Amino acid sequence: MAVIHKTFVKPTKLELLTSWLPSRPWYRGAAAAPDLAKAGGFRLDDPDGAVGMEFMVVTDVSASGPTTYLVPLTYRGGPLDGAEHALVGTMEHGVLGRRWVYDGCHDPVLGAQLLALVQGAAQAQDQNLTDTPDPTVIGSYTGEGPLAIDPAQAPADDRDGTELPLPQGATLRLHRILRPAPDGTPVAPQGAIGHVAAPYHLPDGTRVQGLFAVLHTGLRAQG
């Protein structure tokens, strides 16, 4: 169970992301630095209690926006071996001390728990409250049998998202650019066998639903 401490972090999460986002292949801003506002998100619990996991939704409200980004983050008490390329930065936490903040898509603990959420083996937690499930985050799975992240293959970023490889050619794709579901109810693409859908807020305060992640089989058409 993740404990949400009411304390300071320095720099703030938004300050870390402001300098990090422009380096990502899926960043759409024309300006060198985005103007970020928190738009939603949720947490997942680490069964071992060692890694904090947060799915942050932020919107760039600068002149080049608005664009809403999904940024999964992990918080660790020390460096993650082999993940220097995924380090967002470090921050000082008022209770826990120094924390190493990683792009969660490249952290195996988050990948495993996100896949568990899709398959109904984990439950999303409120972003701001301790030990409080978030029933607005929906995982769906229509495949057969359990799946696991393939540790032999590295996640891959492209212009629209990040793909986490699974065995037999399946992938768990995270949508880095979030878009509201046209009719208010997110629908996974044809051929998908699982997904995660959750709400977030537009800059005007409107609450919308979007697809955060989609689980594809190895038979998915390319393109």
Residues 20-50 pLDDT 10s: 999 999 999 876 789 999 999 999 999 999 9
Contacts of 170 (CB under 8 A, 6+ apart): 147, 193, 215, 216, 217, 218
Q: Look-up: residue for tokens 């699974």?
A: 166
Cis peptide before 135 (omega within 30 of 0): no
Asked if 192 contacts 148 with a C-beta cutoff of 8 angstroms, the reply is: no
Confidence of residue 221 (pLDDT cuts 50, 70, 90): very low
Mean pLDDT of the chain: 90
Query: Which residue in 143, 139, 138, 158 sits closest to 192, CA to CA?
Result: 143
pLDDT bucket at 112, cuts 50 / 70 / 90? very high
Mean pLDDT, residues 63-89 taken together: 93
What pLDDT is recorded for position 220?
A: 47
d(CA 24, CA 179): 18
pLDDT tens-digit map of 163-211:
999 987 889 999 999 999 988 888 888 889 999 999 999 999 999 999 9
Between these two residues, 127 and 2, which has the higher pLDDT value?
Answer: 127
Q: What is the DSSP string of 172-196?
A: EEEESB----TTSS--PPTTEEEEE
| Percent of the chain at pLDDT exceeding 90 | 72
As a whole number, mean pLDDT of residues 83-98 equals 88
Backbone angles phi, psi at 97, to 5 degrees: 80, -150
Between 4 and 91, name the one with better pLDDT: 91
Provide the pLDDT for residue 30: 78
Cβ 179 vs Cβ 210: under 8 Å: yes
Please state the rounded mean pLDDT for residues 67-72.
97
How confident is the model over 107-128, as a mean pLDDT?
95
